[in-house]
Amino acid sequence: MRVLVTGSAGFIGSHVVEALREQGHEPVGYDVREDPGADVRDPAAVRRALAGVDAVCHQAAMVGLGNGVADAAEYVSRNDLGTAVLLAAMAGAGVRRLVLAGSMVVYGEGRYACPRHGVVRPGPRAVADLDAGRFEPLCPRCGADLSPGLVGEDAPADPRNVYATTKLAQEHLAAAWARTTGGTAVSLRYHNVYGPRMPRDTPYAGVASFFRSALARGEAPRVFEDGRQRRDFVHVRDVAAANVAALRAAGPPQGALTAYNTGSGEPHTVGEMAVALAAAYGGPEPVVTGEYRLGDVRHITADSARLRAELGWRPRVGFAEGVREFARAGLRGE
């Protein structure tokens, strides 16, 4: 299969290219880092890149929580306009298979259960609570403590920052394209991806990159809130393998978009990641700061059973092994 990989020089995209090649496919790279003319928002350039292509693996995106709404226009341009241009070109070129780099951020907060009211969806956290160190969301009906659980693909979307909103819009655009063209679209909703070639410490990097960058500077990783936020850290090679599985799968229906959570299935706290990474690197122990980012959520962990059952994928890199490797691996400068 000849596969156009947008964002092919990026953190995840570069691993997808390698995984495709290892499985006997022909990846076609498309990335502004390697070619300034390879902008996914350029219709003519995208049309040229699609020549002879069987499928598209769309990784190109502006990622991370960013700077509130100050960079909203840039997020929408890169993520949503770029996706719209790509899909229009695919429709014209007759390319009918798409795998989209989705994200767990479309859910907002994760799944919570109240002892009295069952599964509930807490609203956005209040500044006053965060300033006072009250980080855990409470039951919106009775104010009781909640138990976090695994979120499934059928949970309602509730994006809580600009980046999350653009990732949900990408899915809606892909679904519209699939209905119009009869194409097959898969969104892999990545959880917290980490591993070699992760971008260096920027406002758009993931938390594991922030910790690794601090250690490289000889500084202690700074853990926000109380460090007990639950996340699903999934290794980048496992994410790349999920992309290959989605491209070759016969299961996803034509004319629709199918979403798959893509996570390890083993929740860890942010504090656990910081401690494990510092120990593996041999650097200073983490410092819990109590700081917070307003657009962030407390707990979000995946139920990836659908991906395992329908596409035959399973993660192969365990948390301890992956963290040890990441501690030794270089970061990609941006």
Residues with catalytic function: 163
The whole-angstrom separation of Cα 88 and Cα 172 is: 14
The whole-angstrom separation of Cα 161 and Cα 62 is: 13
3-state SS, 114-179, equals ECCCEEECCCCCCHHHHHCCCCCCECCCCCCECEEEEECCCCCCCCCCHHHHHHHHHHHHHHHHHH
Provide the β-strand partners of residue 5: 29, 57
* Residue 231: φ, ψ to 5°: -135, 165
User: 121 burial class (0-12, 13-18, 19+ CB within 10 angstroms)?
Assistant: middle
∠ CA 296-12-163, nearest 5°, is 30
